[in-house]
Amino acid sequence: MTINLPGVPLTVADVESKPPPAEERMPRRGRRLSRRRLYLRRFLRNRGAVAGLVILVLLILFALLGSLLTPYTYTDVDFTSLTMPPSPEHVLGTNGTGNDTYAQAVHGLRRSLVIALAVSLLTTVISAFVGAAAAYFGGTAEKLILGIVHFLLVVPAFLILALVSQEAGGDWKVLIVVLTAFGWMLNARVVWSLSTSLREREYVQAARFMGVGSVRIVLRHLIPNIGSLLIVTFTIGVVAIVTLETALSFIGFGVQLPDVSLGTMLSDGANTISSAPWLFYFPAALLTLLTVSMALIGDGLRDALDPTSRSGGRA
């Protein structure tokens, strides 16, 4: 029972429906923005998100280029200085076996970043495909996939992660596989619940009647329409994985010596917190900056991509 008042213009609340190309090409009176510009402008308006992005870029640059600024590598052992506080020779001091803390921190940050980005990317891709496919195919396939998802959600994941990664002996590639294997279920369920409404939409029906293959429909019509959700899931997933990986490494089940991640560095620092606190300060600062910046970016992206966003003012 809607009343069309003459003065009220129709609002394009539906970001999912793509604007026709003709409108995209010619901006009406310079006021209509393309979708990308709109997102960018909304994101830039969020000061916290921009700060997060700057911090993250700096961190990535540091992880990539930081090793150029020091003569040591993370495995180098300097027997003349064991557990030394910061000095001109070792900018951030050394640990009990004579490793340079700065070189280790660069390597640990790189390791943690690689693991988090890879796992988050993989889980997002898997959950998107599995969730959308379950919703699209329906019937027995849907029941089966949801059954598996629910079962895996009940299984004590943290315990199995610890069991398997301990068995792997701290290899970071195995850790990526294991974290992915137990990380995709919850997202898949969210994607599924969103896709169930999408599969009834006209363009999906139309594609089906035109004889487009089912895999193609899932990839071309379902997944792009939950893209904004997936981007946000990816950023928030990075935070979760960094936390999980460092927690596992901290208690000794994740990345293990001789390899170094931020978690193992923290556990190093924890053992000598009163005698050698410099082993703790730097990795702790890096880790906090990493998680907080990713969380800020995730918040900003969610506000920018959300079609019902109330992030204010002229969009």
Partner 1 sequence: MIVVATNLTYFLANSFLDPRANYLQLRPPRSPEQISRSLAQYNLSPDAPLLDRWWHWITGIVLHWDWGSSPVGESVNSQIAFRMGISAQLLLLSLILSTVIGVGLGVYTASRQYRFADRFHQGLSIAALNIHPAVAGLAVVLLAIALNQTLGTTLLFVAGAQSPTVSGFWPLVVDRIQHLVLPTLSLTVISYAGYHLLQRSLLLDNINSDYVRMARAKGLTRQEAIRRHGLRTSLIPVATSIAFAVPALFTGAVITETIFAWEGMGRYLVTTISKNDIHGVVAVAAFGALMTAIGAILADIAVVALDPRVRVTSS
**How many C-beta atoms surround the C-beta of residue 189 within 10 A?**
19
Residue 270: which residues within 8 A CB-CB, separation 6 or more? 250, 280
d(CA 110, CA 286): 11
Between 249 and 278, how does the x/- string for binding to partner 1 read (CB under 8 A)? -xxxx---------x--xx-xx--xx--x-
Assigned token pair, 275: 């005698």
Between 80 and 119, how does the x/- string for binding to partner 1 read (CB under 8 A)? ----------------------------------------
**How many C-beta atoms surround the C-beta of residue 185 within 10 A?**
22
d(CA 255, CA 261): 6
Largest CA distance in the chain: 83
Q: Is there a contact between 81 and 90 (Cβ–Cβ < 8 Å)?
A: yes
C-alpha torsion angle, residues 235, 240, 244, 250 (rounded to 10):
80
Residue 166 binds to partner 1 (criterion: CB under 8 A): yes
Shortest distance (Å) from residue 75 CB to partner 1? 23
Q: Which is nearer to partner 1, 99 or 165 (CB)?
A: 165
**How many binding residues for partner 1 (CB under 8 A)?**
39
Length of the chain: 315
Between 34 and 63, how does the x/- string for binding to partner 1 read (CB under 8 A)? --------------x---------------
Select from 13-21, 115-123, 147-155, 169-177 the region that touches partner 1 (CB under 8 A). 147-155
Select from 32-40, 153-161, 210-218, 220-228 the region that touches partner 1 (CB under 8 A). 153-161
Of residues 245, 220, 288, the one with CA closest to residue 59: 288
Between 274 and 313, how does the x/- string for binding to partner 1 read (CB under 8 A)? x--x--x---x--xx--xx-xxx--x--------------
SS3 of 94, please? strand
Residue tagged 């004889």 (tokens) = 211
Select from 20-28, 203-211, 225-233, 247-255 the region that touches partner 1 (CB under 8 A). 247-255
Residues within the interface to partner 1 (CB under 8 A)? 48, 151, 154-156, 158-160, 162-164, 166-167, 239, 243, 246-247, 250-253, 263, 266-267, 269-270, 273-274, 277, 280, 284, 287-288, 291-292, 294-296, 299
